[in-house]
Amino acid sequence: MKKTLVIAALLCSTIAFAQEEKPSHFKLYGFIRNYITADTRAVSAGTEDLYFYMPKDVDMKNGVDLNDGFNWRFVSLTTRLGLDVSGYKWGTMGISGKVEADFYYLSGSVPTLRLRQAFMKLDWDDCPASVTIGQAWHPMAADLPHITNLESGAPFNTFNRSPQLTVDVKLGGGFSFTASVLYLNHYLPTGPSGKSKDYYKYGLPEFYAGFGYKGTHFAAKIGVDVVNTKPIGFVGYNNAKPETVVRGYTMDVREYKASGLLTAISPFVFLQYTNGLFQLRAKGVLAQSGEHFNILSGYGLKSIDDVNHKYTYTPMQDLVSFVSFQYGKKFQVLCMLGYMKQFGTTADLAVVKQLWINNSGDIKIQQAFRATPTVAWNLGKFTLSLEYNLTAAEFGRGERNARGMFTGTPEWILNHRFICMTKFNF
């Protein structure tokens, strides 16, 4: 009897130890950031023109280009607050997390506090896998170029934070595997009536899979992103209401549920080299319908079956890429060189006008370059940076062909942007 009681006590103490709870540790962080920017012409941009996409096209009135002219702004938007949580354990399971917000123009002219990231990360003792649940950087957008402006190189770089379930597995020897299921929330695909979650939530989840390597000096990633959206949910055609026209067809009294998904596949590669105070990064993405990455892309109708209400789609294909470097610690020199090229749709359009493109920048842009030489001084927790941003965009002219490309002689338009940023980290 006594032996049985001893064994029972040992079992109970083992279970209690296995479920021992360790408290969390909290770290508050953030920064106060100010931007002063100036442009030599009007630009397509958001967030008080800080999130810069492209220069605007020529707008001639009475022989004068209305978009040609100096303009500037000075704002303290994107000042950030964050909380890191670490150290919590329940038995062999560890849980960490992050909550991060900044001030941003969501609507109107008064900045509001918006959620950037909110995720938890689960890991286990003696287990090579970890799980991230919540809103975090997209696996294809986490590696940013060396740059101090707000858009972090977009649209030459993928830019996206989304709710996700991501599994990271360490394979040994510095290699890893990542798989994600994502839901697009803030960075949305485009559609017949603009950007909307409806085109995404009636499709399928977004999927990502990729491999990574991290060594002493070298790091690399390769992966592919797959998005399935449903651009058109309901249609209703006939001649009952000839005064009402949608997508070139007249509306019927009845509506029909439409079928058909747009499938877009986007592979990418990322390389990084680090040696002392020097770091070099390069990324290339061959994106299909990459509007959710803040790429100036889109898609169109490939075929229309009005009898069965079936639609097939063809995505636009774009190359976006950058090379960037950084050297120094207290005094830093940085630069990014970016290039993007639009190749048109992967198949002929059924109707040339049935083409929907990300209108964050001008929908006529066919290719573009960007160079951003920058110097920065880091004085403890205070940073001052000066950046020159040269962006050259090729605007299409004439009519679009069956692949959505312009047939006329293109025109290059330049913008010179000057940026001064101050940041105090705490």
Decide if pLDDT at 3 tops 60: no
Segment 154-169, tens digit of pLDDT? 999 999 999 999 999 9
Q: What is the mean pLDDT of residues 35-58?
A: 94
Tokens of 170: 């360490």
Cα–Cα distance between 21 and 87 in angstroms, integer? Answer: 10
Tell me the percentage of the chain whose pLDDT exceeds 90. 74
Q: What is the mean pLDDT of residues 371-398?
A: 98
Give the CA distances from residue 225 to residues 139, 221, 288, 369, in Å, rounded to whole numbers and listed in that order: 9, 13, 9, 24
Q: What is the pLDDT of residue 89?
A: 94
Which residues are CB-neighbours of 166 under 8 A, at least 6 positions away? 131, 132, 133, 136, 139, 178, 179, 180, 181, 208
Q: What is the pLDDT of residue 234?
A: 77
Mean pLDDT of the chain: 89
Whose tokens are 């499938």? That residue is 263
Q: What is the pLDDT of residue 242?
A: 41
Cα–Cα distance between 385 and 209 in angstroms, integer? Answer: 36
Q: How many other CB atoms are found less than 10 A from the CB of residue 408? A: 10
Q: What is the pLDDT of residue 95?
A: 96
Segment 265-316, tens digit of pLDDT? 999 999 999 999 999 999 999 999 999 999 999 999 999 988 888 999 999 9
Please tell us whether the domain made up of 22-425 is placed in CATH 2.40.160.10. Answer: yes
Q: What is the mean pLDDT of residues 366-378?
A: 98
Q: What is the pLDDT of residue 257?
A: 79
Q: What is the pLDDT of residue 197?
A: 75
Cα–Cα distance between 355 and 231 in angstroms, integer? Answer: 11
Tokens of 109: 């002219």
Predicted confidence band at 140 (pLDDT cuts at 50, 70, 90)?
very high
| Residues 358, 361, 364, 370, Cα dihedral to 10° | -120
Q: Which of 143-157, 206-220, 233-247 has the lowest mean pLDDT?
A: 233-247
Within 13 Å, how many C-alpha atoms sit on residue 236's CB side?
11
Decide if pLDDT at 1 tops 60: no
Q: What is the mean pLDDT of residues 50-60?
A: 95
Q: What is the pLDDT of residue 19?
A: 57
Q: What is the pLDDT of residue 24?
A: 84
Cα–Cα distance between 259 and 310 in angstroms, integer? Answer: 5
Q: What is the pLDDT of residue 237?
A: 55
Q: Which amino acid is at 263?
A: T
Q: What is the pLDDT of residue 108?
A: 64
Q: What is the pLDDT of residue 308?
A: 86
Tell me the percentage of the chain whose pLDDT exceeds 70. 90
**pTM, entire model:** 0.88
Segment 314-327, tens digit of pLDDT? 999 999 999 999 99
Q: Which residue has the higher pLDDT, 67 or 112?
A: 67
Q: What is the mean pLDDT of residues 69-74?
A: 94
Check whether the bond before 155 is cis (ω within 30° of 0): yes
Q: What is the mean pLDDT of residues 124-145?
A: 97
Q: What is the pLDDT of residue 57?
A: 97
Decide if pLDDT at 205 tops 70: yes
